[in-house]
Homo-oligomer: A and B are copies of this chain.
Amino acid sequence: MSRSNPRVLSTLERVGGFASAQEVHKLMQREGERIGLTTVYRSLQSLLGEKIVDVLRREDGEAIYRLCGDTHHHHLVCKNCGITVEIEGGAIEKWAKSVAQEQGFRDVGHTAELFGTCADC
């Protein structure tokens, strides 16, 4: 099918935080890389499938990506400045599992995000 373009990954590494497909593309262009927007989208999609990157949504709905570790975690995002803290979600995992069982659901996954105002804002 389609593998992820390594230059996209390395750019995202360099960013060290969240970036949208459009931003990654612009950044690469600015740095002289010749790559199409389509390829950037495809690569990010791939990386997402391989669980190498995480996706989140900005307030306007634009998808933003960033590298994620191999452990399943959640985010605490500042609504004001966008700073993000990774959170351990052990409590959530347990909760999800028990709720699922109660309701007779199988293969239950979950999303959970916290947002607020950080200490500096």
Nearest B residue (CB) for A100: B116
Nearest B residue (CB) for A119: B104
Would you call B108 and A115 a contact (CB within 8 A)? Answer: yes
A35 within 8 A of B: no
- Give the contacts of A22-78 with B (CB-CB under 8 A): 57, 61-63, 76, 78
Query: So how many copies of this chain end up in the complex?
Result: 2
Would you call A114 and B106 a contact (CB within 8 A)? Answer: no
Among B104, B114, B118, point to the contact of A118 (Cβ < 8 A): B104
Please list the residues of chain A having a beta carbon within 8 angstroms of any beta carbon in chain B. Answer: 57, 61-63, 76, 78, 85, 87, 91-92, 95-96, 99-100, 103-119
Given contacts A78-B105, A85-B103, A91-B91, 4 further A-B contacts (CB under 8 A): A76-B105, A100-B116, A104-B119, A105-B118
